[in-house]
Structure 1
Amino acid sequence: MQFRFCHNSVNVLDLERSLEFYRTALGLVPVKRKEFPEFTLVFLGDGKTEHLLELTWLHDRKEPYDLGDNESHLAFRVDDLEEAHGLHEAMGCICFENKEMGLYFIEDPDGYWIEILRQKQ
């Protein structure tokens, strides 16, 4: 028996705002969409790996999600950390930096943190 990663899921309050954020900040694009009466699922991909990010939008949800201590996060590697940092700085979404470790975090519209790491050489 062998397992492999398929996708991660996050709940979003405003689907269009989240789609724009993930496209602009990380280059993720929709690869699959499933519509249901009460909710919509949109799966985003990077075009390089099979791993997907599932955005779950509950149509009737009006209040922001309680993320607790928000210790869980997604992580992305990027080939040009300085260029990515400039983009995210211009977007105003950097929420934490650790220059010693060579990484930083951005925050999506729903408050989820995303770690940005330099591509391994």
Structure 2
Amino acid sequence: MIKFNHFNFNVLDLDKSLKFYNDALGLTPVREKVADDGSFKLVYLGDGISDFTLELTYLTDRKEPYNLGECEFHLAFHVDEFDELHKKHDEMGIICFENPGMGIYFISDPDGYWIEIVPAG
């Protein structure tokens, strides 16, 4: 059996990212790992529904932003309250792309990662 476990984003400012993911998507830490030498910290975020987690990797010595290339990848979420969440994300100023024809939109996190918002059903 093969089953999804987690997906990773490397982040430059862990506190800012934790706030973003909680405020924008309601994700909260479910476990953490700190390197014995303090060089990195991993924080796994959960949605409280599924077993899938988003791993935020914070390298303590990293100062420059990550190069995401052309950002041709993304993480996607199904949401029940699509219109309400769209309004919230619009007010937060984090919508980076909308495709009304497909009925979806994307938000961008503090490091520039794109997250697709898809209506349930």
TM-score, with length taken from structure 2: 0.97
- Structure 1 distance, partners of 2:91, 2:26, is 15
- Structure 2 distance, partners of 1:41, 1:80, is 30
- Structure 2 distance, partners of 1:100, 1:9, is 29
Name the structure 1 match of 2:14.
Answer: 15
Please state whether the residue corresponding to 1:109 is helix, strand or coil. coil
1:91-110 matches, within 5 Å, as 91-110=92-111
- Structure 1 distance, partners of 2:101, 2:74, is 20
Please state whether the residue corresponding to 2:115 is helix, strand or coil. strand
Which whole-Å deviations, capped at 9, do the CAs of 1:28-51 have from their partners, x for residues lacking one? 000001111200000000000000
Name the structure 2 match of 1:50.
Answer: 51
Deviation at 1:96, TM superposition (A): 0.2
Query: Aligned-residue CA RMSD in angstroms?
Result: 0.4
Name the structure 2 match of 1:24.
Answer: 23
Name the structure 2 match of 1:86.
Answer: 87
Which whole-Å deviations, capped at 9, do the CAs of 1:61-99 have from their partners, x for residues lacking one? 000000001001000010011001011001100000000
Please state whether the residue corresponding to 1:85 is helix, strand or coil. helix
Q: Which structure 1 residue ranges, 5 or more long, are not aligned? A: none
Please state whether the residue corresponding to 1:31 is helix, strand or coil. strand
Name the structure 2 match of 1:75.
Answer: 76
Please state whether the residue corresponding to 1:66 is helix, strand or coil. coil
Identity %: 58
Name the structure 2 match of 1:6.
Answer: 5
Please state whether the residue corresponding to 1:115 is helix, strand or coil. strand
TM-score, with length taken from structure 1: 0.97
- Structure 1 distance, partners of 2:91, 2:19, is 15
